[in-house]
Amino acid sequence: MSAIRGGVPFVDFGAQVAGLRREIDAAVRRVLDSGWFILGPEGEALERELQAHFGAAAAVGVGNGTEAIQAALEAAGVRPGDEVVTSPLTAAFTALAIVRAGARPVFADVEPGTLVVSAETVAAAITPRTRAVVPVHLYGHPVDLDPLRDLAAQHGLALVEDACQAHGARYKDRRVGASGTVTLSFYPTKNLGALGDGGAVLTEDLALAARLKEWRNGGQRARYEHVSLGTNSRLDEIQAAILRVKLPHLDAWTERRRALAGIYRRELEGAELELPREAPYARSCWHLFVVRHRRRDALAAALRARGVETLVHYPVPVHLQAAFQALGWGEGCLPRAEAAAREVLSLPLYPEMTDEQALTVVAAVRQALVSLR
């Protein structure tokens, strides 16, 4: 996409790596020199640093975000036959993690303004078999946690927050991850991204953290002593070392994302499209800046013609994906999520983007909207 002259790519990994290149090279060299590649000092240091950064009681590194969700559910006691309520408007990996934990995903519709689930929509999906809830802080916008925590407590449900898009988001005056059990992905496009796969669980529950450490390493309590049926889901030392270079920049990157989102919201005010809103309780970390338009595909094409790359998160809600057909959901079951999937469009937004690039996007959106009239 950067091939289009004067255009704006959706993301620019090169820019972030270039800015940190010497520190990243030094971190990788440190691991190569150490000769220790799995579950070692870098991973342990990263866990301590994540714990401190997010204000969690414990952080446990795992192989990726999907396994972070699976691990947290299994460690919270989810068993085959259980139901787990989640959002249909998310990366399908959220529901896949629930299936891998042996449970059945049950979808709660989203709130029309924020596109995240709420205590009201989750309550409608609870049955006697429900064992846990996995709310998704979609696009970096947190769900309204307090009512959801009350609901979970009232029904004796585990709450595992999918914060794979929400590193740096705040709920009221608290950082997402400072309490409860929260999963992070370090997939390269995420707000805190490795240069490969990675994930972590942050938790206030030290016993759960101990079970996670056992789970990720084959269920071993000590070497060759397998006491439970865990798996292999380890964050490698090179990725941990790279994440340690990036973590100290996360807050500044979040502020930059917020500034860019501010430009979009100010400059697109009054344009003929629906802008994303922040709920009064929320401080989004703007993983994605998602607008809505009835003729989304035509708008995307008109932007592409003007050199602006966009993506759709997500064109098909999880309950309508072929892989999940056996769950028995169909068109019309979750009307708000389905309407959103037809209309959402993600504009470019990444910390290295300049104000000028944001204004280029704004001008292109305004022209594209005129062309659609």
Ligand X SMILES: *Cc1c(COP(=O)(O)O)cnc(C)c1O
Q: Contacting ligand X (CB under 6 A), which of 136, 169, 308, 361?
A: 136
Q: Does 65 bind ligand X (CB under 6 A)?
A: yes
Q: Does 164 bind ligand X (CB under 6 A)?
A: yes
> Which among 8-16, 63-71, 168-176, 261-269 is the span making contact with ligand X, rule CB under 6 A?
63-71
Shortest distance in whole angstroms from residue 235 CB to ligand X = 11
> What is the radius of gyration, based on Cα positions, of the chain?
21
Residue 184 or 209: the one with the smaller Cβ distance to ligand X is: 184
Q: Does 177 bind ligand X (CB under 6 A)?
A: no
Q: What are phi and psi of 182, to 5 degrees?
A: -130, 135
Nearest-10 Cα torsion for 272, 350, 164, 186? 160
Residue 92 or 119: the one with the smaller Cβ distance to ligand X is: 92
Q: Does 284 bind ligand X (CB under 6 A)?
A: no
Is residue 143 within 8 Å of 226, Cβ to Cβ? Answer: no
> Which among 90-98, 112-120, 210-218, 241-249 is the span making contact with ligand X, rule CB under 6 A?
90-98
d(CA 275, CA 311): 16
Helix-helix angle 13-34:41-54, to 10 degrees: 130
Residue 64 or 217: the one with the smaller Cβ distance to ligand X is: 64
d(CA 157, CA 77): 10
Shortest distance in whole angstroms from residue 33 CB to ligand X = 28
Count of Cβ atoms closer than 10 Å to residue 304 Cβ: 16
d(CA 52, CA 364): 42
Q: Does 90 bind ligand X (CB under 6 A)?
A: yes
Residue 69 or 273: the one with the smaller Cβ distance to ligand X is: 69
Q: Does 91 bind ligand X (CB under 6 A)?
A: yes
Q: What are phi and psi of 77, to 5 degrees?
A: 100, 10
Q: Which residues bind ligand X (CB under 6 A)?
A: 64-66, 90-91, 93-94, 136, 162, 164-165, 185, 187, 197, 199
